Amino acid sequence: MIGVFLLVVAGIVACRGRVEAPAPTRAVPTRFPTATPLPPLPTTSPVGSAGNPLVILLVTPEAAGQSGELGELGDTLSEEAELSVEVRQTESYAEAYRALCRGEAQVVSLNAFAYLAASEEGCGEALYLLDQGDEPPVQGQLIGSAVYSIFSVEAFRGRTFCRADAFSVPGWILPALALRAHGIDPFSDLAGVVDAGSDDEVIRLIDQRECEVGATALGAEEDVRGLNDPEALLILEELPPVPDDVIVLSSQVDEFTQALLSDLLREHREELAGILGVEALSPFDEEAFSGLQTLIQAAGVDIPALAN
């Protein structure tokens, strides 16, 4: 028995003395975050560089035939400014207005309505007024016929209105504003609107009693001959003059660039006047726009809407 016991104890001791090696572990590499490249930042060339030139956008009626003059003037201005300057042209005042207010052009020429809109929006400041010499500014007049006892603009309501065409400034655009100022909607309160084709024909149609009221350029009746009853034509209201186009400098460029462009324009007024087909560029006079601005406000029309 003692022998058996000793054998058992020896086996236990032997088992305890044998220590099994732990199973090997596989090393796992440490994961480091991989940098994701950022998209390239958009870069804008500085204003006046070759990739982002200073733009002078002029509204000219003959946009197809002056590219040579524009290019020469642009080269001259670029050399003097030591910056890239481009002189471009368009036939659209609305395009010039949008380019100014979007910062796509630093100098533009605008008609009176587009200028007032740009001024209202704070897009730019007028520097020069185009000077047509002895040619008077555009001005309109409202005409009634004594035959129909039309002695005031308020009597235009329900009457047939004659105009030269829908695009005539003195014959429709100004009169439409004037009618609104008198509480008459030109699109719903008139019995009808007749496109006569010219101011002379407007006078004749009123004289012939095909229209009861109408509008023409100021003094248009003086050149019409052979009327049946010229005394029956009544000039009921003279409309405010519409100044000629203006040169406007952007308010979105820095003071240095504004001063630079102002100097360039002053030094090259004659070339600009030639391209625009006028005698000269005169210093801007805000007072010249007061009558038109008052009429627009009295009509309750949003000025920026007139730019388009």
Contact 91/109 with Cβ under 8 angstroms?
no
CB–CB of 268/127 below 8 Å?
A: no
Q: pLDDT over 70 for what percent of the chain?
A: 84
The per-residue pLDDT for 29 is 52
**Alpha carbons 105 and 87: distance in angstroms, whole number:** 10
For helices 67-81 and 255-267, give the axis angle rounded to 10 degrees: 130
Q: Which of 141, 144, 142, 140 is nearest to 212 (CA)?
A: 144
Domain 54-134+243-307 and domain 140-238 have a common topology? yes
Asked whether residue 17 carries a pLDDT value surpassing 80, the answer given is: no
Specify the pairing of strand 280-283 against strand 107-110: unpaired
pLDDT of residue 265: 97
What CATH architecture is 54-134+243-307? 3-Layer(aba) Sandwich (3.40)
Q: Kindly report the CA angle at 206 between 204 and 207, in degrees rounded to 5?
A: 60
Q: Which residue has the higher pLDDT, 243 or 14?
A: 243
Q: Are 58 and 275 in contact (CB under 8 A)?
A: yes
Q: Regarding the domain with residue range 140-238, which homologous superfamily does it belong to in the CATH classification?
A: Periplasmic binding protein-like II (3.40.190.10)
- pLDDT of 10 over the 50 cut: no
* Mean pLDDT on 30-38: 57
Query: For the residues 186-200, what does the mean pLDDT come to?
Result: 97
Query: For position 49, what pLDDT does the model report?
Result: 84
Indicate the average pLDDT of the chain: 88
* Domain assignments of the chain as residue spans, ordered by start: 54-134+243-307, 140-238
Residue with more model confidence, 287 or 47? 287
Quickly count: other Cβ atoms within 10 Å of residue 182's Cβ.
Answer: 17
* Mean pLDDT, rounded, for 14-42: 52
Alpha-carbon dihedral of residues 144, 149, 150, 154, nearest 10 degrees? -170
What pLDDT does residue 308 have? 74
Average pLDDT in the 167-187 region? 97
Is pLDDT of 149 > 90?
yes
Residues 251 and 102: their CA atoms lie apart, in Å, by: 11
Map residue 105 onto helix, strand or coil. Answer: coil
Alpha carbon separation from 176 to 15, 133, 190, 219 (Å, rounded) = 116, 28, 11, 19
With a cut of 50, say whether residue 81 has pLDDT above it: yes
Polymer length in residues for the chain: 308
Q: What is the pLDDT of residue 45?
A: 76
- Is residue 163 over pLDDT 70? yes
As a whole-number percent, the residues of the chain with pLDDT over 90 amount to 76
φ, ψ of residue 233 in degrees (nearest 5)? -75, 125
pLDDT of residue 64: 47
Average the pLDDT over 199-217 and give the result: 97
pLDDT tens digit sequence for 269-300: 999 999 999 999 999 999 999 999 999 999 99
pTM, to two decimals: 0.82
Starting at the edge strand found earlier in the chain, the sheet holding 246-250 runs 85-90, 54-59, 107-110, 246-250, 124-131, 280-283
Least confident of 4-8, 78-82, 144-148, 174-178: 4-8
Q: What is the mean pLDDT of residues 63-79?
A: 83
- Whether 19 shows a pLDDT value over 80: the answer reads no
CB–CB of 171/215 below 8 Å? yes
Output the furthest CA–CA distance in the chain (Å, rounded): 160
Q: Which tokens go with 58?
A: 């002029």
Residue with more model confidence, 38 or 197? 197
